[in-house]
Chain A
Amino acid sequence: MKTDMSKLRKEIIRTAEKGCMDFTGFAPMDRFNGVHRRMRPEAHLKDAKCVVSIGIRYPLAMYENAGKTKAESYMSMDMYENNAMETALLQAAMDVARTLEDFGFNAVPMTTSMYRVQPYKDIKECWTQDFRNDIAAVAAGHGELGFNGVVITPKYGTRQMFTSIVTDAPIEADKMYEGPSLCDKCMKCVNACKMAAISAKDFDKVVVGDRNYYVAKKDIWRCMWSKKFMLNAEMGPKLHGMNVTIEPPKDEIKEEDVQKALSEKGRKGGLQTWYTYSMRECERECVPPHLRGVDLVKKYAKSAV
């Protein structure tokens, strides 16, 4: 019996919404032509025909206030981002995959936070994931890539997280985003990064479907120096009482530099180094032109609609 694809599409959207997802979109394979072969949907599922991209918004006041109010704390941000929201995403992806299987299709849910730290075979870059959730989100019509390389949506700007499900179900695709540009290259992302990891001048062309995005070149080791290894106290750790900053080498950062720095941080920072967080100000400072100065909670309140 032929599957009712329209019914399946609706069922996926309903499943994702039940799992707290604010975004559900569908992207066809040809929009991934610009992606490395090992990170394409077909690299995970040979006969893939569609990628389902789902996303969840951050609690908006939590995101805005983290580290800026009298509490001077990132504890909620840390635990919701790395625990509650990631779990919600993975759970929703699992449920969408199960729905697809129940309709007789194969589905592979993607990760949110795993990396290959070093180059791997024909992957030349460091810190790569095995799938591009950012490109999937753009391909599924949720928004655009900003100059900072982060997905910007017209609804929440950069205040959401995404994951994806690769499937062989030939589900009708959504249109890509066609509204006004969500990045006016205001350069706040570049200026907000205390690691100077984002280049203001050099950029890469990222192709998604028939659109080209120009994304700043990022020194990923310099970014991870703060974001993942929390070696710059000014980006968050200081507010939890861990006031140790280790300066990275001026030129290229190598893995052994990080290991050495972590050891020094441990010696100087003590036990507090176990309990801290680093904020990505390049994302928080990024507000698309039409949302600047807008109170998102009030804007999207049911009573305001």
Chain B
Amino acid sequence: MWEADMKSLTERVKKLAKENRMDLVGVASIDRYAHAPEMVHPRAHLPEANAVIAMAIRYPDAMFVNAGSGDAESIFSIENYQNTVIGKNLYNAALRVTRLLEDEGYKTVPMMVSGRWRLHPYKSIKTEWCADFSNRHAAVAAGLGEFGLHALCITPQYGMRQRFISIVTESPLTADPMYSGPSLCDKCMLCFKSCPSRSIDVRPENLEKVKIGERVFEYAKVDHWRCGWSEQVNNIPEEGPMMGGQEIGILPPEEGKITDEMFLSAFYEKNGLAGFQAGMTHAMGNCMRMCIPPPLRGKQKLPENYCKKMMGKREFIDPGDDKTRPRKYKVPLKA
């Protein structure tokens, strides 16, 4: 196909994505993945891949900022919209873009949003809680933004307030330049300080380095077992579940590694103590909530740090002598 035709197809892809509610769309050429690990490389999914399309949909901004604040003290909307509407919109747009490219004769494989991981190292994959493709790395490669210290992609338009999806295609679409504007992370450490499960390791000697295209990024090592302890199974009420009435929490061990057995035991124990409410709740990553990139400060409203405020009111049930074991506590809710 001629270059002009490919430019036109790229424009059609972007138009279709935007017609299907995507706020950001970018294209990464395959050469930007030269340093990607073999098993999460686009060509691991489609050997003929020549490009990756990254797309994002923004959160309703006031919903994101106000969740948990005000007299409603509720995160029901953000849970429902994030897990249902926002996710489904991403999949719908990805499916439609995939079909367009197939109709044009290009093999195309859409990637998932989130929700499936290999929890343990697998063959050449050394990391834990690893998805089969990284949408945040694709977003950076496609020029939508850059990494924050928390290892997530920050965009100049919405900061942290969007979700991503990717599509791997054989079509050699016209690539967008990588982001080259003002830095989107000044290492303010709010993400690190806001994380109630102490998942983010910012020690300089532990920082991770990745090369995408010609750029090298450095970000914190994230302990996904600790992150999942709250984000996936709602064991820390201050990160959201207390807004639904869940007073019971279980902290991950202060020292040592979280095991499968420990993770599952804590989950079931918390559910037993917290009752039905534990099944109807949501934890919202505080690292994401509190992150506002320098160019957007004063433009994006900083959410209330309800998590930090409530962390001071813990009543521990376990003495916490053994720092290698989880520790139960209660956050009393008063009118």
Contacts and interface: CB of A to CB of B under 8 A. Distances in A.
Contact of B109 (A65, A241, A275, A302): A65
A75 B131 contact: yes
9 contacts: A69-B45, A75-B112, A80-B112, A83-B87, A84-B95, A297-B105, A300-B102, A301-B102, A302-B105
Given A272-B119, A302-B103, A302-B105, A65 B45 contact: yes
B110 interface: yes
A11 interface: no
Q: Which 7 A-B pairs have the closest CB atoms?
A: A301-B105, A270-B260, A84-B91, A73-B132, A71-B44, A70-B44, A79-B112
B132 A75 contact: yes
Interface string A212-235: 000000000000000000000000
A277 to B, nearest CB: 8
Nearest to B90: A84
Given A75-B132, A84-B91, A270 B261 contact: yes
Interface of B: 38-41, 43-47, 87-88, 91-92, 94-96, 98-99, 102-113, 115-120, 122-123, 131-133, 170, 260-261, 263-264
B244 to A, nearest CB: 22
Contacts of B87: 83
Contact of B110 (A73, A80, A87): A80
Contacts of A76: 45, 109-112, 132
Nearest to B43: A70
Contact of A78 (B88, B106, B112): B112
Contacts of B102: 59-61, 297, 300-301
A73 B45 CA distance: 8
Nearest to A80: B110
Contacts of B92: 84, 87-88
Interface in A59-118: 59-62, 65, 69-73, 75-76, 78-80, 83-85, 87-88
B326 to A, nearest CB: 15
Given A65-B46, A73-B132, A297 B106 contact: yes
B39 A72 contact: yes
A289 B99 CA distance: 25
A303 interface: yes
Contact of A303 (B39, B95, B96, B105): B105
B116 A241 contact: no
A298 B103 CA distance: 9
A83 B114 CA distance: 12
A69 B132 contact: no
Interface residues of A, number: 35
Interface in A5-38: 20
B112 A271 contact: no
A275 B116 contact: yes
Contact of A241 (B107, B111, B120): B120
Contacts of A1: none
Given A270-B260, A271-B119, A301-B103, A61 B95 contact: no
A304 interface: yes
B119 to A, nearest CB: 5
Contact of A72 (B47, B95, B96, B123): B123
Given A70-B39, A70-B41, A88-B95, A240 B118 contact: yes
A79 B261 contact: no
A59 B106 contact: no
B86 to A, nearest CB: 12
Nearest to B115: A79
Contacts of B123: 72
Given A73-B132, A84-B92, A303-B104, 15 more contacts: A59-B98, A62-B98, A65-B45, A71-B132, A72-B122, A75-B112, A78-B116, A79-B112, A79-B115, A84-B91, A240-B122, A241-B120, A271-B260, A272-B260, A297-B108
Interface in A252-273: 270-272
B109 A300 contact: no
A302 B47 contact: no
Nearest to B84: A87
Query: Which of A73, A87, A275, A303 has the most chain B CB atoms inside 10 A of its CB?
Result: A73
Contacts of A75: 111-112, 116, 131-133
A302 B264 contact: no
B91 A79 contact: yes
Contact of A69 (B44, B111, B115, B122): B44
Nearest to B41: A70
Nearest to B105: A301
B119 A59 contact: no
Contacts of A69: 44-47
Nearest to A60: B102
Given A83-B88, A83-B91, A59 B40 contact: no
A135 B269 CA distance: 46
B44 to A, nearest CB: 4
Nearest to A298: B105
Contacts of B110: 59, 62, 76, 80, 84
Given A76-B110, A87-B91, A271 B264 contact: yes
A155 to B, nearest CB: 13
